[in-house]
Amino acid sequence: MNFFTRARKRVVKVATVALAVTATCSGLTWAAVSLTGNSADAKSPVACSYKPTDGAKPVGIPTFDAWTAARPYTAELVTNRGTITFQALTDKAPCATNSFSFLARKGYYDGSTCHRVTTRGIYVLDCGDPEGEGAADPGYYFQDENLDGAEYSAGTVAMSKAVPGRNGSQFFISYADPDTPMSSEWTPFAKVVSGLDVLKEIAGNGTQDGSSDGKPKKAVVIKSVTVRQASVSAPREKRG
């Protein structure tokens, strides 16, 4: 069963909610900022909507401020198999990176088990479900972004979802370039800067049932996730 079929067969119960919780920063112009603190061309503000669900482990709803969300950060995932560090693509996927940072700071991922590894066709490690089954959500969901031309080469960190268009806490990390074409429907939100060797070792151990798609043979537990935000300067006003 391939990556896409398995993902769509997971079930996430979504409560019917009349009011979407929307965090919007309006009337504000902000600049995308690099790690060095240099400002880039000013962009229009982004509005992110996080909608409540009946998630098994709700931790609240993220707020969203365009300037704060634009600040670059690195995330360090300390696992029992080694440490993986990635750079968040805050300029390309602000809704996803804002959500990930929110959950990490809440300790949502601490103690969770990565529930899936694939070793044929596509090469990914799936994590982000505290129940370790690939079906839970954090009590909210948000829409896709950054899909135009999205690809999933080695080092890509992307949202993994059980229902199309409903992203929550789950994500996958590609540890090698895929052999099988992957359609651009999974929001890429970060790039691995160190720890690919850790991912490859995890995959090299195989799965519990010996298949090419299943739970890692040796349990992968996320001990902690630390977000380190870069120090940047506030955007400068444009003068006419």
pLDDT tier, 20 (very low <50, low <70, confident <90, very high otherwise): very low
pLDDT digits (tens, 9 = 90+) for 169-191: 999 999 999 999 999 999 999 99
Question: Taking residues 143-147, what's their average pLDDT?
Answer: 95
11 occurs within a structural domain:
yes
236 occurs within a structural domain:
no
Task: Give the C-alpha distances (Å, rounded to integers) separating 131 from 34, 83, 141, 148, 181.
Answer: 36, 21, 17, 32, 29
- Residue 76 bridge partners (DSSP): 85, 226
Tell me how far apart the alpha carbons of residues 35 and 201 are, in angstroms, rounded to a whole number. 30
Tell me how far apart the alpha carbons of residues 207 and 117 are, in angstroms, rounded to a whole number. 7
pLDDT the model gives residue 47: 77
pLDDT the model gives residue 56: 60
pLDDT the model gives residue 55: 64
Please tell me whether residue 202 adopts helix, strand or coil conformation.
Answer: helix
235 occurs within a structural domain:
no
pLDDT tier, 123 (very low <50, low <70, confident <90, very high otherwise): very high
96 occurs within a structural domain:
yes
Residue 18 contacts by C-beta under 8 Å, 6 or more apart in sequence? none
- Domain span at residue 185? 3-204+213-229
Least confident of 130-139, 204-213, 214-223: 130-139
110 occurs within a structural domain:
yes
19 occurs within a structural domain:
yes
Q: What is the pTM of this model?
A: 0.78
140-141/30-33 β-pairing: unpaired
239 occurs within a structural domain:
no
Tell me how far apart the alpha carbons of residues 53 and 152 are, in angstroms, rounded to a whole number. 28
Tell me how far apart the alpha carbons of residues 62 and 235 are, in angstroms, rounded to a whole number. 23
pLDDT the model gives residue 25: 35
238 occurs within a structural domain:
no
Count of domains in the chain? Answer: 1
| 222 vs 56, more confident | 222
Residue 96 belongs to a domain with what CATH number?
2.40.100.10
Q: Is a pLDDT exceeding 80 seen at residue 234?
A: no
